[in-house]
Structure 1
Amino acid sequence: MRSDESKPGNVTKAAERLKVGFVLARSFTLSAFAMFVDTLRLASDEDDRSGRIHADWQVLGSTRHLITSSCGIQVAPTSDFVDPSRYDYIVVVGGLLSVKEPVDRETVNFLKKAALQKVPLIGLCTGTFILAEAGLMKGHVTCVSWLHARAFQERFPDLPVRSDRIFNLDRRRGSCAGGSSAADIAAALVRRHISPHAEKKALEVLQIVKARSSADVQPRRALEEKYEDPRIRAVMIRMEQHLDEELDMGDLGSAVGLSQRQLERLFQKSIGTSPARAFGKIRMERARLLLAQSSASLIEIALDVGYRNSAHFSRAFKREFGHTPSSLRSRKAVVN
């Protein structure tokens, strides 16, 4: 991957611009594409002029036909498939997994040619499925959304995948969970190839306080996907959806055709704890994530996970993790 020695305020020559080619799948995710390309656009010029000074980008296609996103908005390719080596990165924007042929054969051949020429390939959202289907993710760790982790594992059982991180840059491959994490991976490339100044400017315009790193975890992890029993998965989903409420364990059992006692026995046998204890752990994990990745006050976080006062919340948090929420915040402040 090319390095760039440009400094804040310097104008990068056209030949040195960060060049990105986008490949859009049928029913691609518009938000992921927009977040990535707008991070490039805002980093490429000063103020809000959108000039292609430090970066350039094209939407590549085998035809110039409009490509329809999953929300119905259409985008027209701006370039045919040219020599992949013209680009520093080829970014594949995926979309709905229900689409049987998200890209055509000519597109697959173009991606394979880019890989042979050692052009780094990045999959946004489910774009990693397209790369993996083409055999282009072997030897690389793939980052996907928790929402798509099981589908990826089932379709590509021999490929390492993780759904706990928001993005991954692995030698000549990149991948991200989609959504706002597309801005984070784009910011990492801007910082690497243009400058930290350009990254900061782009994020400020996008109203993003700070880019997340590849070490940051996804805001929500599908805890229920760990369990085979569909009744446990259904209960876990309901718990995650109602963290700020008091849930009646009897009602949870009834929702999956079990009495409260039967639900407790099922949980104890399958995961070694009670439903109430599992609910408490989910709440605390959510609280720890909010403490680490948000500036919300303790009382706001307490209310978000179902506690009506910060003192009760702090005691429960300390029982779970061995330290108070305040001490975790203090350590975070020292690190930052």
Structure 2
Amino acid sequence: MQRIGFIVLTGFQMMSVAVLSVFEFANKEMGQAVYDLHLLSETGGSVRNSIGVSVATEPFDDTNFDTLIIGGSAVAGSLTPGVIDFLRHALGRSRRVAATCVGAFVLAEAGLLDGRRATTHWNRARELQARFPKVNVEEDRIFIVDGQVWTSAGMTAGIDLALAMIEQDLGADVARSVARKLVVYHRRAGGQSQFSALLELEPKSDRIQSALTYAKRNIDKPLAVGQLAEAAHLSPRQFSRAFRAETGQSPAKAIENLRVEAARLMMEQSRHPIDVIARQTGFADPDRMRRAFLRAFGQPPQAIRRNARAEVVA
């Protein structure tokens, strides 16, 4: 049986503990207790979370854990020297040490991320890099595995991280079945982008949303403003004005972002040649797609594919 310890800090967010449900469902899937789950804190006892609900925890001791996971907290003073010291010795006593969301700051404070690749919530990634320059922060990743150390993006990405752990331990079929029971996608690859072009646009009207839906369905075709305006039942002039007012982007920029997102997914999840991906996502030629990738990610398509394959190997 593998012992899983989740360290909570005062003011932790309840969603971060959702990763334990993934291991719980793995136990149900296997019909036996493969994982022994524990909530931990430095002194044990009751720990209050960000919405005022308290949970019972066990204190740190000499018990060894196969996997240690920590979430973060926004409460000042919640991270104590005792927690840092406990984590500094964790790599010598645990097979895996992980952090969800801003828990990466805790691992970085303990020195566990020095010289390693890591990720965290996109809104805090640059802060993590600035505070801990020895860490190679990759802000646009769902989760990253670097040796014994695992880190994930925002809290729901911890579910993807836990599914990957189960896949490593028990195989892809078990992880897939657990994902189905949790009604979550099986599974977002670690190298997948944290961002969604459609979510970032957030149009306010059904008309602009209809145009974007039309664009996504026809991403492989040339998409002129006139076509999008027709899908929105507006004149081209009205459409361009309304689109920028609602999304803060021009139609041309938004379409490029949708094409980049579609192309990136194909780069990560398929073996299609780059010229085929460029054609199927409406870029027409690889050079045009390459320039769009450099604008969006600062990397060419080939680098995105290499990173995705490296995640799979890890």
What TM-score results when the alignment is normalised by the length of structure 2? 0.66
Match of 1:58 in 2: 38
Q: How does 1:199-218 map to 2 (within 5 A)?
A: 199-218=175-194
Deviation at 1:203, TM superposition (A): 1.3
Structure 2 contact 45–59 (Cα < 8 Å) conserved = no
Q: How does 1:317-328 map to 2 (within 5 A)?
A: 317-319=282-284
Equivalent-residue separation in structure 2 for 1:136 and 1:129 (angstroms)? 10
How many residues align? The count is 246
Q: Secondary structure at the match of 1:165?
A: coil
Match of 2:257 in 1: 282
Q: Secondary structure at the match of 1:248?
A: helix
Structure 2: tracts of 5 or more residues without a match: 213-238, 270-278, 290-314
Structure 2 contact 101–153 (Cα < 8 Å) conserved = yes
Deviations 1:89-123 (A, max 9, x none): 11011133xx3323222211111121344543101
Amino acid at match of 1:92: I
Deviations 1:259-300 (A, max 9, x none): xxxxxxxxxxxxxxx956434323433455688999xxxxxx
Structure 2 contact 117–138 (Cα < 8 Å) conserved = yes
Match of 1:183 in 2: 159
Does residue 26 of the first structure (1) align with residue 10 of the second (2)?
yes
Match of 2:23 in 1: 40
Deviation at 1:318, TM superposition (A): 4.0
Q: Secondary structure at the match of 1:101?
A: coil
Q: Which has the higher contact order (CA 8 A, sep 6+)?
A: 1
Amino acid at match of 1:181: A
Does residue 88 of the first structure (1) align with residue 81 of the second (2)?
no
Deviation at 1:247, TM superposition (A): 5.6
Does residue 134 of the first structure (1) align with residue 110 of the second (2)?
yes
C-alpha distance 315-90 of structure 1, shift in aligned 2 (>3 A): closer
Which shows bigger deviation, 176-185 or 115-124? Answer: 115-124
Structure 1 contact 27–69 (Cα < 8 Å) conserved = yes
Equivalent-residue separation in structure 1 for 2:280 and 2:68 (angstroms)? 49
Equivalent-residue separation in structure 1 for 2:72 and 2:62 (angstroms)? 22
- The structure 1 residue matched to 2:130, chosen from 147, 154, 169, is 154
**What is the RMSD computed on CA atoms of the aligned residues?**
3.5
Equivalent-residue separation in structure 1 for 2:149 and 2:133 (angstroms)? 19
- The structure 2 residue matched to 1:72, chosen from 52, 60, 68, is 52
Structure 2 contact 10–73 (Cα < 8 Å) conserved = yes
Q: Secondary structure at the match of 1:211?
A: coil
Structure 1: tracts of 5 or more residues without a match: 1-16, 222-236, 256-273, 295-313, 324-336
Taking every aligned residue pair, what percent have the same amino acid on both sides?
22
Amino acid at match of 1:26: T
Q: How does 1:215-254 map to 2 (within 5 A)?
A: 215-220=191-196, 240-242=201-203, 244=209, 246=239, 248=241
Deviation at 1:130, TM superposition (A): 0.7
Equivalent-residue separation in structure 1 for 2:89 and 2:151 (angstroms)? 19
Amino acid at match of 1:113: H
What TM-score results when the alignment is normalised by the length of structure 1? 0.62
Amino acid at match of 1:38: S
Q: Secondary structure at the match of 1:122?
A: strand
